[in-house]
Every structure is written in structure tokens, then in C-alpha cells.
Chains A and B, each alone.
Chain A
Amino acid sequence: MNTSRREFIKLTGVVGGGLVIGFHLPTGAETKAASLNAYVQIRPDNTIIIAAKNPELGQGVKTALPMIVAEELDVEWAQVEVIQSAVDYLRYGSQFAWGSHSVPDNWIVLRRVGASARAMLVQAAARQWDVAPQACSTQSGRVSHPQQKGSLSYGELASAAAGMPIPGDDQLKLKSRDQFRLIGQRISGVDNRAIVTGQPLFGIDQQIPGLHYAVYEKCPATGGTVKTANLEEVRKLPGVSHVFELVGNGETTELMPGVAIIANSTWAAFSARKQLKVEWELSDAASDSWTQTQKRARELAAGNGEDVVVSHGAVESALAGAGRSHTAFYAYPYVAHAAMEPQNCSAHYHDGSCDVWASSQTPQSALGNVAGLLNIPTSAVTLHQTRCGGGFGRRLMNDTVCEAAAISQRAGVPVKLQWSREDDMAHDFYRVGGFHALRGGLDEEGRVVAWDDHFITFSENGKSPSRGGDMKASVFPVPMVTNARITRTQLASGIPSGYWRAPGSNAIAFAVQSFIHELAATAGRDHLEFLLELMAMPLQSGAKLDGLNPERAARVITAAAEQAGWHKPRPAGTGLGLAFYYSHRGHVAEVAEVSVDKNRKLALHRVTVAADVGPIINLSGAESQVQGSVIDGFSTMMGLELSIEGGRIQESNFHQYRPLRMPDAPQIDVHFLDSDYPPTGLGEPALPPLAPAVGNAIFSATGIRVRELPLAKSGFSLV
């Protein structure tokens, strides 16, 4: 739809903040619900239907965002029924799930949505009673007035309210924090009943009439093209209806070359694929070797990087003149997303339009991807949002959606494209590995006076770092150290890169926060006191904090240490480790408690987390995100690594790529610090501090410093 901004404002009656409230939810006749705006419908029985706009992949936004609307609307949660919204920019603005954005981006918008609907209901009641709306009050989905007997339910008022003028933002009075009744409570996820009874919620569960089942074989080394394939042979196999080659458009995020097989069941397609023989042309294919890359990075570590990311003061002379100095080389591997729901998409191309049923973190981008690929207008593509069986950043890319759409268009039938777990492992957009050659200098009092980080990363295009493979100039403690520098070297790679939970922080935190502890140990100082001192150092001229608030940081660090019993004496063979990280607007400190025996058998007993993300929306969901982040962080640091040889990922399934299991999960104590800053998201920021906290705890327990992930590489295993 091509609507100018002026027309748009006229159409919606809304000016600022991306609040698109003038649109109404389409109402089904059977629901007899009145629509007050794009998010809120009310049934005569006083059921409040609230649309959840963003993809749900386990981060809890399908519950948390409607809670914000319900709070300002002044209804009981038990009255609320949540539906997944359509993908529609005009109604809902941007719809996506990444970067822990959902809560901070929608906090004010959704409060206005709720308050606006409430104001319209109050207007309707005031008109019915012929009283001033200001004298009316609301509670639990009912409007009352001091001079009126009884109250009117929203359900009774809804159809009249739907005809009331939409109030402007300046006319809305939002609640103050002390008036919140729902926000901050523990609310069980809105899909939980459907989940535990096995209802068809996920992309993979969608059943479209006339569905055919497809698989798509691509070159295991990205960039390879089909030279020859035994298509005729495969076509004769049981249940197979179509076999064809697609050349693709060369975009890893859309459609790469391969062979599609369509059959009458998933198993028939999987079975036929076992008989498919493709000879790949590899001249443009990835040829990375992780073994070689690690050697190369170690060679490069001695020098400085090709580019300077940031530099202030005089690092070299400060290091040379420092009372004590220390160097260390950190390394971490490529890792996969490995969401539990293997990539899949159902697509139905018909009469120049295309419907897709997809677990996507970026549904609006998918519309454009599909339209461009199929050469149809974006308006001819409809994406039906389904619940996602995990994302972690993998479903930011819509390659599977593009493949399904292209296969349906070519075959002329509706298809469900199903990747195997092996496809999912072989064709991910991986978190790139990385290396840090760190040097630090201390003055006579043991304070940090120099910090130098040669960051070695990867580039797919030969120009800029791979997705999620860059390092910000603002990474603490660089902005606070008098003489500090980050230089960067990019190694060429053909391995598709992607954003993996807390991109740009998830592994950098391990190197940086471990090295701070190394410097504290070199200085012979207490890590807690050392870290707080560093955090309190003045910002260097020209340096940026990019949202890091040193006071909030100090609060969470102090709180985590106190809650974990930082200064209490500890038995031999056990240790506490501390780390802090700021990412995705969240300030989080973690203390890990480990025990390690002489055979490097490790147990992570307890992780104490202190986080400041502003007011919590759903306490249950928020706590769950922190628990999950801690376990994800530990799982990854303990045993996850991709070996890459000949441009091919060697790990094919969960027997080789082994996420943590229940017996190894630690106790996790979560403390949210109360603050009046605007609420921010929790999908990511509790993950980065975990790895350095555990590494630092291992050092405290044993004196062994771990500088390479996963820990399994250094001989550690779980008890």
C-alpha cells in the first residue's frame, strides 16, 4: 500500500509515536465483538480480545505486550483473550522479534492503545448517563460514576464506544507506577494450555488443504551449485510427485541453488531424498577450515589489527610504562542456533499471490523477500504468523520461507517445506567465532591505565564484519580507561553468519570480563572492588557509553555479589566468579558458584543474577528469560562448537552438537532491581555475563584460567 505520511495521518487520526490506533480489528460476525482499535475488541459478555503484534518464540511477548494494553484498559487478566495479530504495518507499525526490542519499543504505544480504548468506553458511559466523563472511574472492565447506581460493563458499552472519537495522545492520562495492578504480576503464558495439550500452534503444525510435502537439498558448502543430479531416478520413487532444480538468486538469506523433491508425505520426501545424488560445482563454494583459521588467528595475535575501532590516550607508551602488564589470548568458536523446531514453512502460490505460514522473527521482511523472489507485489503476499519453536536469531532470516514459496510457485501446489535437523545444522546463519589478543597495564596502585584489544573476526563480503561479528567502540571498560584501544582484523569467510542471542555481546563478554578479572588477579586485588573502581572511573574525552549507565551497573554488581555471599569464606575446590555486562539496554551482573576436582570435573551449583531492566512487566516471564539465558550461556560455553572443514559444518545432529540437559542445570537465583527507568527487554541481556562469571569462578576455585571456549576443549567435563 502506498500511502503518504500526510494521508496516513488523516486516515488514522494519529500523529506521533507510531501509534496506529485508528484502524479497527476486523470483526467476525460470529464473535459479535465491537472493535475499539487495531488491538482491542470487546464482546458483549465482557471478554476483552487483545491482539499480540509481534512474533512469539519463547521470549514471552504474546503475554507481556497484551498485559500492557490490559493494564491501561483497566480490565482483569481473566477477562482477556489474546489473539495473534495479522502482519500489517499500517495497523501495527513494525512487527518483529529481535534485539530485546518488543517491550521498550511498544511500552508507551501499547499503554496509549489501552488508555485510548478506556477513554472511549468512559465517553460512551458518560453519554449514556449524561454525566461528565472526568467524573467516571473504571475498574475490572466496568465504568462507574458516584451518582449512578450500579456500573456498566465494557461489554455493554463497547458498540457505542466504537463510535466515539479517538482521543489524541495529549488527552490520554496514563497510569502512574503505583496505580499498576497487572504489570509486575506473575502471569502464565497465554498459549500454555494449548502447548501442554498439543494444539497446532507452531509453523510445523499447520495443515493446509491439499498440502504436499517438500524437501530441498542444497550444497553443504554454501555457494555450491548443482552440476548434475539424478532427478529422473528420484521422480520414480514411491509417493514422489515433483522433482526439480532451482537455480536461486544467489542470496543465502533468500534462495540458494538446490534440488526440490515433493511427495505425498514428509516421510516419502525424506526417503526419496536418500536416493538423490547431486554432484556439486564447488568453484564458488565456501572452503573454510576452522583448524586453519585458529592457527591463522594465533599468528595474527602478536600484531595489531588492520583497522582501529577506537583509540584514545597513548596505549603503547602506557603499556610500556605501566608498573605491571598482562597479556592474554581468548578464543571462541562458531555456534549454531539449533532451535528445537527445525526450519519449515508452508506456502501456497496461486493466481499471482502467495500465502505463507511461517515461524519467522521478521514477518514483514518476509513479505518483501517472497514478493521480490516470486516477482509479485508485496501486497500479494500474506504471512500467517505462527508460534515459533525457538528462534535465538535464526528466524530473522527468511530463507526457508523463500524456498517454500519458490517451490510452491514452480510446482503449482501448496507445499510444506520441511528441513531435517541435519539441514538445520548445515544451513544455519552461524554465530561467528572470534579471537581477542588482550593487553592490560596497571599502575603502582594496581589501577588499570592501559587496555588494548586486538579483535579478530570474520567477513563474508571482504569489507565489513560478518553479521553479529563486530565489536562496539563502547565496550566497557574501554570508555573509562585513560589509554585504550580496540583494533580489528577481519578474516575472509564463506560461512553464512547471523545474529545469535545477544549478538555482539554473547562471546565478547567472555573475553573482556575474564580479562578484567585477570588484571584484578595480577594486581592482587579483590575482583568486586576492582570492577567497581573501574566502573566509577571518569569517561574519557570523546568516548561513548552507548547506554551503559555506570551507576546502574554498580548497583547490579553490588547486589549480585551481596546476594551470592561474595565475602564469605569458601571450601577448597569451590569458587565464586563475578561478571557484569551491559547489552540490549539491560544491566546484568552474575555470580557463578562452581566446584572443580583435580580431574577437571566441573559442577555449576548456583548462579546469582542481579538485573536492572526497569519495571518488570510479567515477573514470571522475566524470571524465565533470565533462567533460560543462564542455561543457554552455560550450555554454549561448556560444550558447543562447530568444526568446519571444506566449508562444511561437521556436526549434523544433537549427538554431536549437544545442548545442556537437565542434570547439569544450576540453581538460578534472580533478583530484579527496582528502578524508574523505562522497562526494557530480557530476551538477551542475561546471557553474556554467564560465561565470564563461570570462567572467573573456575579460576577462583583452581587457579586455572580458561581462555578458550568451549570448556570441553580444556579438558573440563561435567560431574
Chain B
Amino acid sequence: MATVTLTINDQIRTVEDIAEDTPLLWVLRDSLGLVGTKYGCGGGYCGACTVHLNGLPVRSCSVTAVAAVGAKITTIEGLANEGLAQGDKHLHPLQQAWIDLDVPQCGYCQAGQIMTAAAFLDANPSPSDADIDQAMAGNICRCGCYVRIKQAIRMASDGLAYNAMDAEEQQV
């Protein structure tokens, strides 16, 4: 049994008395009530449980909480605070694009899709369609919302590019 102190969405959270092999997913969901991160397969196949560890997308079902100690963890609940101002100032551009394009059907996989897309756009703000396909291939959407997910990533990346351009112009 272990006590772990985690940095989640810029907050320090301590969880006591968990088995050392407890995946981060279940600590988020059961111990901390952060249920936006979803259980889908438990094997890292579907991507529903994707969170950021130091800005990189990881499957929280396949990383133990103990291994996440010391890392900066971001979940879907904390994504909005990191977002750039666009449309709704509280939302990340991807979240806003997801609403504007009415992406979700059942919605269950979407937190994982958005977290994967957010880390991807951070690394590659102006992706091609093929880049998007490759980045998102690890996330299953059983409802088949792929067409709109791709459109929303494109919309958000265009918005990011516009914001970046705007910032450059202001600097000039």
C-alpha cells in the first residue's frame, strides 16, 4: 500500500492507502472524483482514458499512479484552464470546436479524443489531414464520429494558427 501525492490540473492531491499497482485512471475516478477520464478497455487499446503527463498523451489505464508522482498531470477537467482565449474564453479551442461542430454522439470517448488532439496540436499546430489521422488512430469512437472529430481538430488548428499570426502581427 502506498500514499501518493500527485499534481493534477495544477493542484496538489494526496491519495492514501492505494495498492502500488493501481492505475492512474482509477485513482482519478474513484479516489479523486475526476470522472471525465473514462474507462474503456483497460488495455491501452481504445484511448478513452487519455490524460497528459508533462504535456504528453498517455493511457491512464496503463500507467500507475505511483509512476505519475512528480509529473504534471492534466485531465479533461483541467484542459479548459490551459486553453487560449477563443470563442468561449473558458474553453480550450478544441472543446469549443467540438461544441461548434456538434462532434459527440454518445460522447463517452470524447474526453480521450480531445486530450489526444490537444497534445498533438501542441506539438504540431498546423497538421495535414494525414497527420491528424495518424495522431488520432489510437482513439476508438464506436459511434463513428471520425468525420467531425477531424473537422473539429482542423477548425481548432486553424484557430490556433490565426491566434499565433495575430500575436506575431502585434509584436511587429
Contacts and interface: CB of A to CB of B under 8 A. Distances in A.
Interface string B90-109: 01001100111111111111
- Interface residue tally of chain A, by bracket? 35 or more
B30 A192 contact: no
Q: Which of A59, A188, A267 counts the most B-chain CB atoms under 10 A from its CB? A: A267
Given A196-B114, A631-B147, 13 more contacts: A186-B102, A195-B104, A196-B99, A200-B36, A202-B107, A202-B108, A265-B18, A265-B30, A341-B38, A341-B40, A420-B42, A654-B45, A665-B150
Interface string A162-190: 00000000000000000000000011110
Contacts of B105: 58-60, 624-625, 628
Nearest to A420: B42
A267 B23 contact: yes
Q: Which of B136, B139, B140 counts the most A-chain CB atoms under 10 A from its CB? A: B140
A359 to B, nearest CB: 9
B144 A631 contact: yes
26 contacts: A189-B102, A192-B103, A195-B98, A196-B91, A196-B98, A198-B75, A205-B35, A213-B30, A238-B19, A265-B22, A266-B26, A267-B30, A268-B19, A339-B106, A340-B48, A340-B143, A341-B40, A387-B107, A391-B106, A624-B145, A627-B147, A629-B144, A632-B142, A653-B42, A659-B140, A663-B133
A54 to B, nearest CB: 14
B107 A342 contact: no
A375 interface: no
A2 interface: no
Interface in A593-652: 620-621, 624-625, 627-632, 635
A70 B35 CA distance: 32
Interface in B50-105: 75-77, 79-80, 91, 94-95, 98-105
Nearest to A421: B41
B20 to A, nearest CB: 11
B106 A663 contact: no
A632 B144 contact: yes
A173 B161 CA distance: 51
A653 B45 contact: yes
Interface string A90-110: 000000000000000000000
A338 B142 contact: yes
A199 interface: yes
A180 to B, nearest CB: 19
B11 interface: no
B157 interface: no
B134 A654 contact: no
A128 interface: no
A402 to B, nearest CB: 21
B144 A204 contact: no
A59 B136 CA distance: 23
B102 to A, nearest CB: 4
Given A57-B106, A196-B110, A238-B19, A204 B35 contact: yes
A655 B40 contact: no
Interface of B: 1, 18-19, 21-23, 26, 29-31, 33-43, 45-46, 48, 75-77, 79-80, 91, 94-95, 98-111, 114, 132-134, 136-150
A668 B75 CA distance: 32
A367 B76 CA distance: 34
Given A340-B46, A341-B108, A58 B143 contact: yes
Contact of B149 (A202, A271, A662): A662
A197 interface: yes
A210 to B, nearest CB: 13
A689 to B, nearest CB: 15
Interface in A419-438: 420-421
Contacts of A301: none
B137 A663 contact: yes
B148 A627 contact: yes
A655 B106 contact: no
A198 B36 CA distance: 4
Contacts of A388: 106
Given A271-B19, A655-B45, A265 B26 contact: yes
A653 B36 contact: no
Contact of A390 (B29, B143, B150): B143
A663 B40 contact: no
Interface in A652-698: 653-655, 659-663, 665, 667-668
A340 B142 contact: yes
B144 to A, nearest CB: 3
Contacts of A632: 142-144
A201 B30 contact: no
B107 A389 contact: yes
B102 A196 contact: no
Contacts of B42: 420-421, 653
A563 interface: no
B129 to A, nearest CB: 10
A339 B23 CA distance: 22
B44 to A, nearest CB: 9
Nearest to A627: B147
Given A340-B48, A628-B144, A631-B144, A387 B106 contact: yes
A192 B102 contact: yes
A390 B108 contact: yes
Contacts of A340: 38, 40, 46, 48, 106, 108-109, 140-143
B144 A627 contact: yes
B19 A662 contact: no
B91 to A, nearest CB: 7
Contacts of A387: 106-107
A316 interface: no
A197 B91 contact: yes
Nearest to A187: B102
Interface string A220-254: 00000000000000000011000000000000000
Contacts of B134: 663
Contacts of A421: 40-43
A660 B147 CA distance: 12
Contacts of B33: 207
Contacts of B94: 196
B40 A342 contact: yes
Contacts of B141: 340, 662
B35 A200 contact: yes
Contacts of A196: 76, 91, 94-95, 98-99, 104, 110-111, 114
A330 B22 CA distance: 47
A288 interface: no
B102 A198 contact: no
Contacts of A76: none
Interface string A367-405: 000000000000000000001111110000000000000
A665 B144 contact: yes
A500 to B, nearest CB: 12
A217 interface: no
Closest 4 CB pairs of A and B: A198-B36, A631-B144, A58-B106, A389-B108
A201 B35 CA distance: 9
B35 A207 contact: yes
A60 B107 CA distance: 11
